[in-house]
Amino acid sequence: MCGICGIAFAVDGPSPSLEVLNAMCQEMAHRGPDGRGVHQEPGLGLGFQRLAIIGREDGQQPLGNEDGSLYLVCNGEIYNHLELRRQLTRQGHVFRTHSDVEIILHLYEEEGAGCLDRLRGMFAFALWDRRRRSLLLARDRLGIKPLYYMEIRPGRTGRLSRPGPETPAPAGLAFASEIKALLSLPEVQAVPDLRALHAYLTFRYGLGGRCVLRFQRHTRKRRSAWDHPGSAPASPAVADFFAGLRPCRGAAGRVLRVGPGPGRG
């Protein structure tokens, strides 16, 4: 597993503080002992704790595209990255690393947020589009990889940004793979959500997008990239069901054999 985190302000302005980004990363150091990467630019800061799996030599993040207009941090694996890499190469895209997650950058260049429909794997990522000044936060269909986020209220967390502690920060959004990284931010206010805690202790999963801690109310745009199709109109015979299951099992096995060894993700 790896750890991702970041801060994006709603307007062009100060960069998030390097001290704050490093503090967020440090809270997730156990998720990625193989390295740390940080990217800063006006209004944006991204952090990454790396566990090297695919692209061990050149897969450091945050990862940018050819012209630096997109930046990505991703925790997880893209199982069909070889197939997508071949398709994107034929379309003229140039890959600079052997990392499986680099395909997200190039697929986004082609399809925007629709790239999520093409990804097969377990992942949580943040993709910054400098031209649109937009931050896309996304994770896999079943939410295997964690992703938490909270609203930043304007002016109350001046130590988040440069150049100094007296500079008020604009409104924005902070995110991380673990809640601890968000709690490391200056002046964060969070209270327990007892209903969410009850659901987690009962089902080992947060229901309805709730979190065991309630941060400031968020107003960012959310959409579901996928939904369960529901039950089939008619139940197939047992023999037909297992016959249809065999090719799915074989395909799943092939796409899962993408890493150098056990313990991936």
Does 74 participate in catalysis according to the annotation?
Answer: no
What one-character DSSP code corresponds to residue 161? Answer: B
Give 38-82 pLDDT, tens digit per residue.
Answer: 999 999 999 999 988 776 777 899 999 989 999 999 999 999 999
Check pLDDT > 70 for residue 121: yes
76 close to 140: Cβ distance less than 8 angstroms:
yes
Mean pLDDT over the full length of the chain = 83
Listed in sequence order, the residues at least 6 apart from 99 whose beta carbon sits closer than 8 Å to its beta carbon are 54, 55, 58, 59, 61, 63
Give 191-218 pLDDT, tens digit per residue.
Answer: 888 888 888 889 887 777 777 777 655 4
Q: Write down the catalytic residue from 2, 5, 74, 115.
A: 2
Listed in sequence order, the residues at least 6 apart from 222 whose beta carbon sits closer than 8 Å to its beta carbon are none
In this structure, the number of other CB atoms found within 10 A of the CB of residue 138 comes to 18
174 close to 185: Cβ distance less than 8 angstroms:
yes
Give the length of the chain: 265
CATH homologous superfamily of 3-189 equals Aminohydrolase, N-terminal nucleophile (Ntn) domain (3.60.20.10)
Give 86-98 pLDDT, tens digit per residue.
Answer: 999 999 999 999 9
CB neighbour burial string for 83-109, b if at least 16 within 10 angstroms, e if fewer: ebbebbeeeebeeeeebbbbbbbbbbb
Give 1-30 pLDDT, tens digit per residue.
Answer: 799 999 999 887 788 999 999 999 999 999
Q: Which tokens hold the place of 112?
A: 């925007």
* Domain ranges within the chain, ordered by starting residue: 3-189
Give 173-185 pLDDT, tens digit per residue.
Answer: 999 999 999 999 8
Give 226-251 pLDDT, tens digit per residue.
Answer: 665 555 555 667 667 677 777 776 66
Is 0.85 surpassed by the pTM of this model?
A: no
Residue 79 to residues 3, 52, 83, 84, 259: CA-CA distances in angstroms? 19, 16, 9, 10, 9
Q: What is the pLDDT of residue 265?
A: 42
Q: What is the pLDDT of residue 211?
A: 79
The C-alpha atoms of residue 64 and residue 163 are separated, in whole angstroms, by 25
Q: Which one, of 132, 115, 112, 107, lies nearest residue 43 by Cα?
A: 132
